[in-house]
Amino acid sequence: MNMRKILIANRGEIARRIIRTAHAMGIETVAVYSDADANAQHVREATQAVCIGPAAASESYLVIDKIIDAAQRTGADAIHPGYGFLSENATFAEACAGAHIVFIGPPPAAMRAMGLKDQAKKLMKIAGVPVVPGYQGDDQTLDRLTRAATAVGYPILIKAVAGGGGKGMRRVDAIQNFAAELRSCQGEADRSFGNAVVLLEKYVAEPRHVEIQVFADSHGNVVHLFERDCSVQRRHQKIIEEAPAPGLSDAMRKAMGAAACQAAKAIGYVGAGTVEFIVDTSQPEYSYYFMEMNTRLQVEHPVTELITGLDLVEWQIRVARGERLPKLQNEITQSGHAIEVRLCAEDADSTFLPSVGTLKRLRFPSAARVDSGVAEGDDITPWYDPMIAKIITHAPDRMSAIEKLLSALDETIVDGVKTNRAFLARVLGTDSFREARITTAFIDRHAAMLKPPEQVPARVFALAALAIITPHVHSSKKHHSPWLALGGWRVNLPEARSVMLSSHMAVPAKITLTRCASRYQIDGLGLPLSAHAKWCSDTVLEADLDGQMIRSVLLVSDTKVEVRIWGQTFLLNRPDRQVSAASAMAENGEVKAPMPGRVLDVAVKPGHFVEVGDLLATMEAMKMEIRVVAPAAGTIRQIHARTGQQVSDGQLLFEIDITEKS
């Protein structure tokens, strides 16, 4: 079958990923976009683009008729659904067939077979695939479910049959809690999925989430592309994925791969799919059970691509064209280890709340694969998933892949929104993760050690101070002055510079750096330090602190310094510079946010007269409560801040008419 043009019924990172492969295969692409995505990267990169409605997904990306109409108007031969949105919607696949458009995905019957968790488990039992002991019956009365829960044995899980993403799921530890948790779960399932039916499962105490990538063609061939471990999750959402899964025996890997292929064969599967298993690690001999099958490409497919050297989107397109699988099972090999993290615009230190704003600066690492849907200057909006990028590394072994990924995260710079970058680095740096002691409860169990460091070592303060005073002599500017390298040099006197730095709510430290030949004597930190430093790039500082060579990433701004070292991120404020910044704002009466954060309270109203230093608003940022004060006397002309608002660094909050009080 010839395929000249593919419409991508998705957005962001996965749309760009599909465009990249399609164009490499000589296939034109059509992007669809909502009003909120008019300037999105996938719109710019596709051959054509069609607007399909307002920002809300329910009025654009989820409207089947609009997608089909766009495909027909642009002459697309096929539609690739990506993941999410309509990717597992059997009705959408049937609508494509009705319009004589190829759906790049499995047959509708296969999607329906796996669409409801209870029916899927029944099918897997028949196919001989291990399933978690439980109840998947039609009788949904309280009495029948209570008896079934007792038979299975507590603790148990109540799960919505149409659920996903952690919704419609409850753990119950004792019979006296069962009725209340059942009502809660059914109510959430009904609201979220329009289906209140639940199933019961034995609760696996030490579970790992291991999934097998499968592929099938229309000629009867089915293969697996090995396994991935996706156990590290927050609120049942994956944030770190790796391949192969660490710690499994060769026999178990082989058995799980065979079971996944058997599952695909049992439902007449065609295309890319993922069979997800829960692995019980509570006993020395691990056991595994079928959990569900995702009938689409997965977010974490890059780790499989990196260990196999295969392009899974290309395989999808070839299978959809009616071709045989490019390789059979004995021809598929794997090498090395790959790890992926999901870099999201969210506040990892405040229940992972999404963060919105403009990406004022965006820099990705050079030595990693980065799949992203955004570029510098783009907006992270509240309309869609807050994922900024997937950062993936591949190395000969797991530990090397971890170290490579930590370096990649250190190189990643995002200004304008909060991200989980530092949190991800802390996870990768824990002994438990490095030793592969992981379960789906990893984040909850390690919550204390995954918090930002409360104590800032003296050496971190020293590095921040050195970064502030050390000139970037490697600068590529044509007219670089050699005198800049001398800093505060004075005739016949030792050069001395003072820097004010503070962390959290601590009293600011005055750090004095005195030039002694080619080194600095650093005082004010409780212990004397001798140091020499140089910039290796605009963000990488190499320092010799009393003979210890330290290489770290530092981001220096007018009001703060971010130090990334030892897998940790330390945020230091420059209180003296914040006062200077406030004074500078007095010139035009504009008061801007000193850093990204959330507005806790607005203390003034339009028309109020304020004196210098009067409180205008209180913000929360970097786990600190920050007072935004009037930089000059005058009348409040306009207020752009509101309580609860998430604001970006430098965002306009207030306008003041600078006048003298009459």
415: domain CATH number is 3.30.470.20
What's the Cα-to-Cα distance from 387 to each of 44, 355, 406, 537, rounded to whole Å? 19, 10, 19, 28
Residues 121 and 190 in one domain: no
Specify whether 184 is located in the same domain as 219.
no
The CATH number of whichever domain residue 19 belongs to comes to: 3.40.50.20
Whether 578 is covered by a domain: the verdict is no
Answer yes or no: are the C-beta atoms of 243 and 304 closer than 8 Å.
yes
Q: So what's the pLDDT on residue 595?
A: 67
Residue 446 shares a structural domain with residue 482: no
658 Cβ contact partners less than 8 Å away, ≥ 6 residues apart: 586, 589, 632, 633, 634
pLDDT at 588 over 80: no
Burial of 354 (0-12, 13-18, 19+ CB in 10 A): middle
Q: Is the pLDDT of residue 567 over 90?
A: no
Residue of 233, 257, 145 whose CA lies nearest to 196: 145
Q: What is the pLDDT of residue 621?
A: 54
| Euclidean distance between CA atoms 209 and 229, whole angstroms | 6
Domain boundary (335, 360, 383) is at: 335
Shared-domain flag, residues 127 and 175: no
At 353-410, the pLDDT tens digits run 888 899 999 999 999 999 999 999 999 988 898 999 999 999 999 999 999 999 999 9
Report the SS3 class of residue 174: coil
Q: Which tokens in the block code for residue 394?
A: 């591949």
* Catalytic residue of the set 16, 17, 228, 296: 296
Average pLDDT over residues 475-488: 46
Q: Specify whether 236 is located in the same domain as 118.
A: yes
CA distances from 610 to 166, 234, 652, 654, 660 (A): 49, 45, 18, 12, 10
One domain, residues 346 and 447: yes
Shared-domain flag, residues 323 and 224: yes
In a domain, 411, yes or no: yes
> What is the identity of the amino acid at 636?
I
CA pair distance 578, 21, nearest whole angstrom: 48
Last residue of a domain, one of 202, 226, 241: 202
211 lies in the same domain as 315: yes
Instruction: Please indicate, yes or no, if residue 580 is contained in any of the structural domains.
Output: no
Residue 579 lies in a domain: no
Tell me which residue of 637, 615, 635 sits closest to 625, measured CA to CA.
615
Q: Are 547 and 559 in contact (CB under 8 A)?
A: no
- Summary mean pLDDT of the chain: 90
Domain count, the chain: 6
Which letter, b or e, does each residue of 58-93 get, where b requires 16 or more Cβ atoms within 10 Å of its Cβ?
A: eebbbebebbbebbeebebbbbbbbbbbbbbbbebb
**Residue 305 is assigned to a structural domain of this protein:** yes
Summarize the confidence of residues 595-612 as an average pLDDT.
87
- Reported as a pLDDT band with limits 50, 70 and 90, residue 235 is confident
What is the domain extent for residue 323?
Answer: 105-131+207-335
pLDDT tens, 23-63? Answer: 999 999 999 999 999 999 999 999 999 999 999 999 999 99
Q: How confident is the model at residue 237 (pLDDT cuts 50, 70, 90)?
A: confident
Q: What percent of the chain has pLDDT over 90?
A: 69
Angle ∠(303,309,314) on CA atoms, nearest 5: 90
Structure tokens at 656: 């003041």
502 falls in which pLDDT band (50, 70, 90)?
confident
- Cβ 411 vs Cβ 357: under 8 Å: no
Q: Is the pTM of this model over 0.85?
A: no
- Is the domain of 45 the same as that of 97? yes
Q: What is the pLDDT of residue 473?
A: 62
| H/E element, 466 | helix 458-469
The answer to whether residues 111 and 142 belong to one domain is: no
Query: 579 pLDDT band (50/70/90 cuts)?
Result: very low
Between 493 and 439, whose confidence is greater? 439
Distance CA 217, CA 112 (A): 18
Examine the fold and report which residue of 294, 312, 335 is the final residue of a domain before the chain moves on: 335
Going by pLDDT thresholds of 50, 70 and 90, the confidence category of residue 505 is low
Q: C-alpha 31: how far from its chain's center?
A: 23
Is 296 part of the annotated catalytic residue set?
yes
Cα Rg of the chain, angstroms:
28
Q: pLDDT tens digit string along 254-306?
A: 999 999 999 999 999 999 999 999 999 988 889 999 989 999 999 999 999 99
Q: Confirm if 605 and 617 have CB atoms less than 8 A apart.
A: no
